A and B are shown apart, each in its own frame.
Chain A
Amino acid sequence: MPLDVEAKVLRNTRLSSDYNIIALEAPEIASLVEPGQFVMVKPGRGSDPLLRRPFSVFEILRANGRIEGLTLLSKRVGVTTQMLLDAVEGDIVSCLGPLGKPFVPVDPPAQAWMVAGGVGLAPFATLTEALRQRGTTSRLFYGARTGRELFHLDWFTSHGVDLVLSTEDGSTGDHGRVTVALERELKRATGALTVYACGPEPMLEAVAGLAAAHGRPSQVSVERVMGCGMGGCYSCVISVRDAGGGHHYVRSCIGGPVFAGADLVWD
Chain B
Amino acid sequence: MMDLSVRIGSLHLRNPLMAASGCYGYGVEYANAVDLSSLGAVVSKGLFLKPREGHPPERIVETPSGMLNAIGLQGIGVHRYIAEKLPELRRLGATNIINICGSTLDEYVELARILSDVDGVHALEINISCPNIKEGGITFGCSLHGTFDVVSAIRKVTHLPVIPKLTPNVTDVASIAKAAEDAGADAVSLVNTFLAMAIDVETRRPKLSNMVGGLSGPAIRPIAVRMVYECRRAVKIPVIGMGGIATATDVLEFMIAGATAVQVGTANFVDPFIWTKLLDGIERYMARHRMTCLSDLVGSIDTSTREKQWVSS
Contacts and interface: CB of A to CB of B under 8 A. Distances in A.
Contact of B33 (A42, A230, A249): A230
A50 B59 contact: no
Interface in A212-267: 224-225, 227-228, 230-238, 248-249, 254, 267
A109 interface: no
Given A2-B272, A232-B268, A248-B53, A225 B66 contact: no
A225 B58 contact: yes
B67 A50 contact: yes
Given A232-B25, A234-B25, A237-B74, A49 B59 contact: no
B24 A232 contact: yes
B309 interface: no
A230 B65 contact: no
B73 to A, nearest CB: 9
A92 to B, nearest CB: 14
Contacts, number: 93
B21 to A, nearest CB: 11
Contacts of B25: 230-232, 234
A225 B57 contact: yes
Contacts of A249: 53-54, 74
B23 interface: yes
A4 B59 contact: no
Contacts of A231: 25, 29-30
B270 A233 contact: no
A248 B52 CA distance: 10
Contacts of B136: none
Interface in A71-106: 96
B54 A237 contact: yes
A235 B53 contact: no
A210 B54 CA distance: 30
Contacts of A2: 32-33, 272
B33 A233 contact: no
B57 A224 contact: yes
B56 A267 contact: yes
Contacts of A238: 57
A189 interface: no
Interface residues of B, number: 35
Nearest to A78: B62
A50 B74 contact: no
A235 B33 contact: no
Nearest to A254: B29
A63 interface: no
Contacts of B58: 225, 235
A49 B66 CA distance: 8
Given A47-B246, A224-B57, A234 B74 contact: yes
Interface string A34-57: 000000001000011111100000
Contact of B266 (A42, A50, A230): A50
A24 B246 CA distance: 25
A33 B30 CA distance: 19
B66 to A, nearest CB: 7
B60 interface: yes
B23 A232 contact: yes
Contacts of B9: none
Interface in B7-31: 22-25, 29-30
B71 interface: yes
B269 A51 contact: yes
A228 to B, nearest CB: 4
A48 B64 contact: yes
A98 B123 CA distance: 34
Contacts of B22: 233-234
Contacts of A47: 65, 217-218, 246
B147 interface: no
A50 B268 CA distance: 11
A4 B273 contact: yes
B24 A234 contact: no
Contacts of B33: 1-2, 230
A96 B272 contact: yes
B302 interface: no
A96 B270 CA distance: 9
B53 A50 contact: no
Contact of A232 (B62, B64, B66, B269): B269
Contact of B268 (A224, A228, A237, A267): A228
B202 interface: no
A230 B66 CA distance: 19
B30 A4 contact: no
Interface of A: 1-2, 4, 42, 47-52, 96, 224-225, 227-228, 230-238, 248-249, 254, 267
Given A233-B269, A234-B71, A235-B57, 15 more contacts: A4-B273, A50-B266, A51-B67, A225-B59, A228-B269, A230-B25, A230-B29, A231-B25, A231-B29, A232-B23, A234-B74, A235-B60, A237-B54, A249-B53, A267-B57
